[in-house]
């Protein structure tokens, strides 16, 4: 107590003399109890090396190779590609983007739906791909109604399978409550090789993937299982990559360095059981008025995979 009183007396004397007080700093390790713990640095958003190699200068060569594409089956005039997925995932936008690549301008042949609306596509519709010289390329996209988490809206899973097997006539209007059956006016009883689908493309939105309904995921998996039973190849298109990753939004060439995009691809692979080398991130044309090299390259890489898979499939028929 005496020592404490002496200390207080000294402080009182110093203050009364109005002398400058030198600040005392205490060096050493900070106490965690006082909140001095060092903050953890934010991890980088990108990898040091790309997880997939992309030749961003190879756009014209990719297009030229697809223009010269030949089908490995004498009876098939066009490879048929069925595009399916949830409402607002970007099915129709992907078809439009594929057409835009060869037209060298942004096109809007297939209608598009916003992520918050019901399916814009109501009928079974085929889209031929033409180049800027009006030459028909040897593949066709089929667009169908989107999947929804309701029995009264969105396409019935059985109708996706019907389309895949070539049983659905052009311009057939889908009925969410009742799938097409044998004997119905829009049903093809004996489909030809040209009516049947040669590659199934599932479209998933990177932005809405975490909140996608389990029922929609189940429908996509059910269709994939039917395709696998028949040996039909499958490719997954991951859309809206710029909306889920700021790094990619700023620079599309960062897509194969982005940890976020790789994480989304892994999630798709885990939930749907599709191999990583069959998943392709793309930036669909949506707001743009002109095409650009980098978006074209990603779409062309996806198309190359789709057509190669389809060609390998028909060669064995």
Mean pLDDT of 211-219: 92
pLDDT digit string (tens) for 229-276? 999 999 999 999 999 999 999 999 999 999 999 999 999 999 999 999
Greatest CA span in the chain, whole angstroms?
108
Please report, for residues 243, 254, 266, 283, 297, the alpha-carbon distance to residue 249 in angstroms, rounded to integers and kept in the order given.
7, 9, 20, 10, 16
* Residue ranges per structural domain of the chain: 59-315
Domain 59-315 architecture: 3-Layer(aba) Sandwich (3.40)
For the range 68-72, what are the long-range contacts, defined as Cβ-Cβ under 8 Å and sequence gap of 24 or more?
Answer: 69/137, 69/138, 69/139, 69/307, 69/311, 70/138, 71/138, 71/311, 71/314, 72/311, 72/312, 72/314, 72/315
pLDDT of 37 strictly over 90: no
- C-beta neighbour count of 194 within 10 angstroms: 15
Percent above pLDDT 70 for the chain: 84
pLDDT digits (tens, 9 = 90+) for 142-159: 999 999 987 657 899 999
Q: What is the pTM of this model?
A: 0.84
Task: Identify the pLDDT of residue 133.
Answer: 87
Comparing 29-43, 101-115, 206-220, the range with the smallest average pLDDT is 29-43
Mean pLDDT of 220-227: 97
pLDDT digits 0-9 by tens, 110-134: 765 554 455 667 899 999 998 888 8
């Amino acid at each position: 107590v005496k020592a404490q009183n002496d200390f207080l007396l000294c402080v009182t004397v110093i203050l009364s003399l109005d002398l400058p007080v030198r600040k005392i700093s205490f060096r050493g390790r900070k106490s965690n109890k006082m909140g001095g713990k060092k903050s953890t640095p934010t991890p980088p958003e990108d990898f040091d090396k790309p997880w997939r190699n992309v030749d961003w200068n190879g756009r014209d060569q990719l297009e030229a190779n697809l223009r010269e594409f030949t089908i490995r089956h004498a009876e098939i005039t066009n490879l048929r590609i069925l595009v399916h997925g949830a409402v607002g995932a970007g099915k129709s936008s992907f078809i439009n983007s594929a057409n835009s690549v060869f037209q060298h301008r942004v096109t809007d042949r297939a209608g598009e739906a916003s992520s918050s609306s019901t399916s814009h596509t109501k009928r079974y519709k085929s889209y031929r791909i033409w180049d800027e010289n009006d030459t028909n390329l040897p593949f066709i996209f089929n667009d169908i109604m989107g999947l929804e988490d309701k029995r009264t809206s969105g396409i019935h899973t059985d109708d996706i399978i019907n389309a895949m097997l070539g049983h659905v006539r052009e311009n057939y209007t889908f009925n969410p409550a009742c799938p097409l059956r044998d004997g119905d006016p829009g049903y093809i009883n004996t489909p030809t090789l040209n009516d049947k689908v040669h590659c199934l493309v599932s479209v998933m939105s990177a932005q809405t993937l975490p909140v996608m309904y389990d029922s929609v995921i189940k429908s996509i998996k059910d269709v994939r299982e039917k395709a696998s039973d028949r040996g039909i190849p499958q490719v997954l298109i991951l859309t809206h990559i710029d909306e889920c990753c700021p790094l990619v939004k700023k620079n599309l060439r960062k897509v194969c360095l982005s940890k976020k995009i790789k994480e989304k691809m892994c999630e798709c692979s885990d939930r749907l059981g599709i191999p990583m080398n069959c998943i392709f991130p793309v930036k669909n044309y949506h707001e743009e008025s002109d095409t650009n090299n980098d978006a074209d390259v990603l779409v062309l890489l996806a198309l190359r995979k789709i057509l190669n898979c389809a060609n390998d499939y028909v060669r064995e028929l």
